[in-house]
Amino acid sequence: MEKNSKINMERLVNHCKNMGIIFAGSEIYGGLANSWDYGPVGVELKNNIKQAWWKKFVQENENSVGVDASILMNPKVWEASGHLASFSDPLMDCKNCKTRHRADKLIEGFSKDINPDTMTNAEMESYIIQNKIACPNCGKRDFTPIRQFNLMFETNRGVTKESSSVIYLRPETAQGEFVNFLNVQRSLRMKLPFGIGQIGKAFRNEITPGNFTFRTIEFEQMEHQLFCKEGDDDKFYQFYKDYSIQFLTSLGLPQEKLKFKDHEKLAHYAKNACDVQYKFVFGFDEINGIHNRTNYDLSRHQEFSGKNMEYLDGVTNEKFIPFIIEASYGLDRIVLAVLDNAFDIETLADGTEREILRIKPSIAPFKIAILPLIKKNHNDKAKEIFKELRKHFRVIFDETGSIGKRYRRQDAIGTPFCLTVDDNTLENGIVTIRDRDTMEQVSLKVEEVACFIEKKIRE
Ligand code: GAP
């Protein structure tokens, strides 16, 4: 369906603020760049997506288990992973207005025909000069040379600020899965191939303005690491590419808005890597990555920790360090993709507009709204139904304003169904259920409602 042309990122940001979905972080203090807070509606959506991911990647996925590792890890982890040495962005300062910019983003903003990921710093500098790329802030063309800035946030352990006390906020959850490989394998007697999934916060000192929640300094990752034997890796890489698309389309993201982008410049340890991109209102961009990381991570942890990370194959008696296929998802980017896809502004037959979030019932923040038609007559019965239904799923109660206004409010937060309690409910136990997308209404017996909604959630 063609989207209303009025929809842009600014409109979505305002909608999210007004509807209690996402607020600017620390707003009353003027905010904090690239940080956002989820409101009462947003947190429900986010939790539902997390649960859907856990179900798909841990619960239903063959031979997979979960962990919940610490955010703060021994700093040696980041030496072994390579993050201390090379997890950095190429930054340039504008000498005129003193703003800082990522060289690769300046080039991407100038031309879509060139991929800065394949360029060296010297190549990026000369491209920027030759093409007269200007500072997006002041328009001058006077940048410093590129310097690499590490993206990890540092903090100090204990009361002193010596270099020996420096620890880092994790920039990815993956390392918590790698360092626990043997703990998980031995404690649950796991046999290859097996997977470890984890959901948790990650932190990166991002300076580029983030397109709402697309690029933030604190975000949640949902990462699954499949440990397998070398030789099985290509098969599992393809499996997780397909699995990714299945997962994303199960959230209601249309297949035609998703595409793979193979990495042109592979990390030195990677055998294969691709992003899944979604077509946001600002264009296609990455929402998750699938990587064949070979046996690099476990080999590096073996080298730096001095612990043997080999797996003993009980059948062949072979010992080897497993390969890893990683499927890495940014939860906040998926929430943004779902909102971007669901948000629409419809012009109704009477010329009025309705703002709507067409979110799939399975992940909608609230499944049904309970609306007493006339507060003083129907509230008691409506409250009774509300209390019963909330045992089954997330339900919202709204008694304020005309029924039409209440429908609009629920449309705007993506509630797929509204249940109206009226005289017919008091007399015959019949309620009216209105569908968000079609605006059609059906009558049901009160006792049939839970089943009706459960069925819609499963569709
Ligand atoms: N363990 C691999 C890894 O972290 P990545 O491509 O750097 O790979 C994985 O990150 C996913 O995390 C990305 O596909 C994206 O969805 C999300 N992500 C990365 N940086 C982010 C940021 N600054 N803000 C929001 N999400 C981010």
Q: Go through the domains of the chain in sequence order and give each one's CATH number.
A: 52-73+157-341 (3.30.930.10), 88-150 (3.30.40.230), 366-458 (3.40.50.800)
Check if the beta carbon of residue 332 is closer than 8 Å to that of residue 213: yes
Distance 88 CA to ligand 1 centre (A): 14
For the chain, percent of residues with pLDDT exceeding 90: 87
Calculate how far, in angstroms, residue 390's C-alpha sits from the geometric centre of ligand 1. 35
Residue 221 alpha carbon to ligand 1 centre in Å: 7
Phi then psi for 223, rounded to 5 degrees? -125, 140
Query: Does 7 score more than 90 pLDDT?
Result: no
pLDDT of residue 451: 96
The span from the CA of 423 to the CA of 256, in Å, is 46
In this prediction, residue 162 carries a pLDDT of 67
Q: Is the pLDDT of residue 20 over 90?
A: yes
Over 80: is that where the pLDDT of 159 sits? no
Residue 318 neighbours by CB distance under 10 Å? 11
Q: Does position 1 have pLDDT exceeding 70, yes or no?
A: no
Digit-coded pLDDT (tens) for 90-127: 999 999 998 889 999 899 889 988 889 889 999 999 99
Q: What is the pLDDT of residue 268?
A: 82
> For residue 256, what pLDDT is reported?
97
Judge whether 381 and 291 are in contact, CB under 8 Å. Answer: no
CA of 455 to the centre of ligand 1 (A): 34
C-alpha 196/C-alpha 178 separation (Å) is 9
Q: Which atom of ligand 1 is nearest to the CA of 171?
A: 4
> Chain centroid to CA 431: how far?
37
pLDDT value at position 43? 98
For 388, the token pair is 């019963």
Q: Give CA–CA dist 237/223, Å, rounded.
A: 14
What pLDDT is recorded for position 118?
Answer: 86
Residue whose CA lies nearest to ligand 1 atom number 19: 330
Two structure tokens written together for 224: 């699954």
**Which is it for the CA torsion 370, 425, 458, 408, positive or negative?**
negative
- Name the least confident of 78-82, 161-165, 245-249: 161-165
32 Cβ contact list (under 8 Å, min separation 6): 25, 26
Two structure tokens written together for 345: 């502004």
Q: 């300062």: which residue's tokens?
A: 93
| For the CA of 206, the nearest atom of ligand 1 | 23
290 - beta bridge partners? 274, 327
Q: At what angle do helices 233-250 and 40-54 cross, to 10 degrees?
A: 140
Q: What is the pLDDT of residues 125-143, one digit of tens each?
A: 999 999 999 999 899 999 9
Going through 243-335 in order, the beta strands assigned E by DSSP cover: 258-262, 272-280, 283-292, 311-312, 319-320, 323-330
Token pair listed for 64: 């997979």
What is the helix, strand, coil percentage profile of the chain, to 5?
35, 25, 35
Q: Tell me the per-residue pLDDT of 407-436, one tens digit each, with 9 for 90 and over.
A: 999 999 999 999 999 999 999 999 999 999
Testing ligand 1's pocket by substitution, the residue of 104, 221, 223, 285 carrying the most ligand atoms inside 8 A of its CB is 221
Instruction: Give the tens place of pLDDT for each residue, 290-349.
Output: 999 999 999 999 999 999 999 999 999 999 999 999 999 999 999 999 999 999 999 988
CA distance 40 to 440: 27
Residue 42 CA to ligand 1 center (angstroms) comes to 20
Check pLDDT > 90 for residue 232: yes
Strands 147-150 and 323-330: unpaired
291 CA: nearest ligand 1 atom: 2
- Confidence band for 401, pLDDT divided at 50, 70 and 90: very high
Query: Above 90 in pLDDT, residue 4?
Result: no
What SS3 class is residue 326? strand
Give the position, in ligand 1's atom list, of the atom nearest the Cα of 288: 14
The protein residue whose alpha carbon is closest to atom 6 in ligand 1 is: 289
pLDDT at 219 over 90: yes
Mean pLDDT over all residues of the chain? 95
Q: Ligand 1: distance of its center to the CA of 222 in Å?
A: 10
The confidence score (pLDDT) of residue 112 equals 83
pLDDT digits (tens, 9 = 90+) for 48-65: 999 999 999 999 999 999
Read off the pLDDT of residues 357-399 as tens digits, 9 standing for 90 and up: 999 999 999 999 999 999 999 999 999 999 999 999 999 999 9
Given this model, what pLDDT does residue 158 score? 80
Which SS3 state, helix, strand or coil, does residue 294 take? coil
69, 167, 310, 315 from 198: Cα distances, Å: 8, 21, 22, 29
Residue 237: which H helix or E strand, with range?
A: helix 233-250
Place 163 in a pLDDT band, splitting at 50, 70 and 90: low
What stretch of H or E contains 101? strand 100-102
* pLDDT at res. 234: 97
- Are 77 and 65 in contact by the 8 Å Cβ rule? The answer is no
CA distances in angstroms from 335 to 42, 65, 109, 206, 332, listed in the order given: 9, 24, 24, 19, 5
Q: Which residues line ligand 1 (CB under 6 A)?
A: 172, 174, 204, 206, 215-216, 219, 221, 223, 286-289, 326, 328-330, 332-333
Specify the pTM: 0.93
